[in-house]
Structure 1
């Protein structure tokens, strides 16, 4: 390896790295569960996850980001036959059940957990995540999603998916109420644990929440005392006009789904500008791009590994996944037929691509070489490192969500071959920062800053739990 000098006065931005996974066999790169070395069929075994967590911490990953859906992919061909055969995120299990076990075998690894707020009572959700923040010593993040599957609505007994923008209005109120629970019910020094005077918590420092809103009502004291972060690190992936407004107001991390550097940069610039308009520091939001990586000792061996993986991948399963993302049955179109734009209530930013460009099923399948639609980066450790650095510097993103291909070897390969090359170039940490997930990401402490919307619900002028608190919708 060559020694690469870095400017110690102005060190280059270091890459933030999350492993991107899901509590299922087939997550993003569909079909690879059939590879002889793939272990993702063991997703229902706790050791599969604790081993992964230990591996990621050895590689100094910032977090394990766990996706989730409510519902099933039933749009393609009008049924779930292919979804079941190819395990397209089915079966899938609750992601939050994994966290305590993985936290027990790690010290620094963060956990970003996806929860769909449309199907959760805010109180029960807020209590669960505050509890997890305690148990992990402040390593919890929440990926805020509002859902996009009609099948989910039917499963919970509703007739159909709410309008796209209405889902975000509900999300705004959901967050407001969670902020009240996390930030506005207990004072920092309410818990005394005073055995001599028999006072565990000071009644004068615990306050009731009174919320009467359009979607939610709640009255009473939050049951969980303040955790290290109080509010978990907030992630979001909104890319529609309404979604961007929501995300740039609340999110601390955002996920960008574009594939070309110029498109990624356009999104980065748009997000930073919109955050500034919201009165926030535009760099108070960390931006991530989803990627898949195939790496080996040389570029040639990496190409051979890609060819091997591709023999097990299922581009059609990727197409079935994509069908539910856009709310259209793409099996109805001939392979070389341009897919027309149709307004749906599914993922608006993905669906809008059909309005902007001519795309055929063959085009999509070509993008789905490994069954997934994330940018695919191939090469030796040094080559992959250079490509990641270039992508970061060209676009202004802060890091990457690395999907698995063949588990667990794809993460092991990345840690063994790519991480040392990034470290040598001064673009990846050599040790963890102390403190919570939020402090590791921002070095600004464990709590949300005063500029964040949650700050308005903090205990400045509240009354004890026996009185009426000044927090109402």
Structure 2
């Protein structure tokens, strides 16, 4: 029997997240992002469609400038305004019963003691349905927002992340023993002192005495997501993550990436299947191939190529705003990460690609256009490559998800590619059959190691 894929809805508490310009479509509701009902309603729709997670991306700063300024981001709504997704999580938890709630939080933005307390509180409130997408923030503006002169070096950020997760693991897994919370009204004993511990962490960046102020939540440690694709990021994921968000160009590339990363997982002393992979894809769905193609062309009319370019280049440290859209890629003089430019050259081999091609390729990357049956065929290929989940990118909210649930999910269920109903229990139990991290995870090393001090 084959294992169904997992599905998460990739969203952000902002107007223009990934498919820039699509918020202007008549049916799009992304600009209602300030409305709590907007998100609660979407969460209920996703749960009715047996999605596994609502997955909130987040940033704590602007991307690099476009045309020498950050004007473009404000005028196009490119992830500004952007609200804090963790504030929404408790409302979504209250309004749903099974849907996992994944929130992005950077090591930069919240001290690990406070972050551990916040996530444990949410995991309690949701009965064990919270996940954390671990990021290190690659925006220089984000670092300046938190008082630094500039961004910390790439590998240094991951060394920082290593200590950050070390602190929260100690709090989540080691500060309270099982059975410590008694709440015995007859004896008056609320908690067993001998089973509650300070962690006394002293590291390069943090000194945290403890104890954790929240008793163990259903999962203790939330489900751990990570999206780094660099060698340092993949190594961090291999040691820590339970799910990795990937954006491979095709199943063949995904298969190679997954095989290589699973080797890193085993090298870290974990089982290969301890890390699952969620591929980011968007869908344009039609009752016929012709209808799907027409809908894709209509979507393209609303997509803003300059905002796509501002997002893509600004996230990698160079400004393409001074170049005309028809400028050949070969004429661009850019410092920093040139991998995206190389990617465009690899994609277009019969002529010299242009800046406009970057926007078009980026906007269509990961897009699947076709009937529900065609889409199911494509998802079978991704699953065969080793992908365990699909991070569904939207063009419109709620329409992208409503269409996928109404038209694609029934076909996927018939093929065993999607579940028909939720299993009981926490988000981790639904996906792995257990509430707690396995003993092979580094966080498990802190169980039962702290005496009372």
Under TM normalisation by the shorter chain, which class is it? over 0.9
Aligned to 1:438: 428
Task: Note the alpha carbon deviations across 1:3-25, whole angstroms, 9 max, x for none.
Answer: xxxxxxxx223111101000001
Asked if 1:258 is matched to 2:222, the reply is no
Q: Structure 1 residues 70 and 339, CA, compared in 2 at 3 Å: closer, same or farther?
A: farther
**2:382 aligned residue:** 391
The structural deviation recorded for 1:76 is 1.6
Partner of 1:5: none
- 2:450 maps to 462
Which of residues 155, 159, 162 in structure 2 aligns to 1:165? 155
Answer yes or no: is the 8 Å Cα contact 1:341–1:352 preserved in 2: no
Match of 1:244 in 2: 234
1:336 pairs with 2:328: yes
What's 1:447 paired with?
436
Q: Measure the CA separation in 1 of the matches of 2:48 and 2:9.
A: 13
| Structure 1 residues 124 and 343, CA gap change in structure 2 (3 angstroms) | farther
- Over residues 310-352 of structure 1, what are the superposed CA-to-partner deviations in whole Å (9 max), with x where a residue is unaligned? 22111211110001221111224452132768664xxx6xx53
Query: Quick check: 1:319 aligned with 2:309?
Result: yes
Q: Is 1:289–2:279 an aligned residue pair? A: yes
Does the 8 A contact of 2:344 with 2:358 survive in 1?
no
Deviations 1:424-470 (A, max 9, x none): 11111111111111111112x100000000011111x4322xx2xxx
Residue 427 of structure 1: aligned partner = 417
| CA RMSD across the alignment | 1.6
Which consecutive unaligned segments of at least 5 residues does structure 1 have? 1-10, 468-473
Counterpart of 1:379 in structure 2 is: 370
TM-score (norm. length: structure 1): 0.91
Q: Per-residue displacement from partner, 1:382-401 (whole Å, max 9, x unpaired)?
A: 111111112221x2111110
CA deviation vs aligned residue, 1:343-366 (integer Å, no higher than 9, x gap) = 64xxx6xx5344577364232122
Q: Which residue matches 1:146?
A: 136
Q: CA deviation at 1:376?
A: 0.5
Q: CA deviation at 1:262?
A: 2.3
Q: Aligned equivalents of 1:195 and 1:172: distance in 2?
A: 41
Aligned to 1:403: 393
Match of 1:106 in 2: 96
CA shift, 1:279, in A, is 1.5
When the two structures are aligned, how many residues end up with a matched partner?
A: 444
Contact 2:247 2:366 in 1 (8 A): no
In 2 relative to 1, CA 311–363 (structure 1 residues): closer, same or farther, beyond 3 Å?
A: closer
Q: Distance in 2 between matches of 1:192 and 1:280?
A: 34
* Native 8 Å contact 2:64 2:318 kept in 1: no
CA contact (8 A) 1:26 1:87 kept: yes
* Residues 353 and 53 of structure 1: CA distance in aligned 2, closer, same or farther (over 3 Å): same
Decide whether the 8 Å contact of 2:10 with 2:56 is kept in 1: yes
| Partner residue, 2:356 | 362
Alignment partner, residue 189 of structure 1:
179
Deviations along 1:33-77, one digit per CA (max 9) or x if unpaired, are 111111111111011001000100011001111000010124221
Q: Deviations over 1:102-127 (max 9, x none)?
A: 11121100011100112221101010
Structure 2 residue 73 is the aligned partner of structure 1 residue 83 = yes
8 Å CA contact 1:341–1:354 kept in 2: the answer is no
Aligned mates of 1:254, 1:340 — CA distance in 2: 32
Say if 1:81 and 1:186 are closer, same or farther in 2 by CA, change over 3 A. same
Give the 3-state SS of the residue equivalent to 1:66 in structure 2: strand
- Name the SS of the counterpart of 2:183 in structure 1: strand
1:180 and 1:340 mapped to 2: Cα distance? 48
TM-score (norm 2): 0.95
Which sits farther off after the overlay, 69-78 or 397-406?
A: 69-78
Counterpart position of 1:33: 23
Cα distance in structure 1, aligned partners of 2:186 and 2:14? 50
- Cα 1:355–1:342 change in 2 (3 A) is farther
Measure the CA separation in 2 of the matches of 1:107 and 1:214.
Answer: 40
How far apart are the structure 2 equivalents of 1:356 and 1:322?
Answer: 12
Alignment partner of 1:352 out of 332, 339, 345: 339
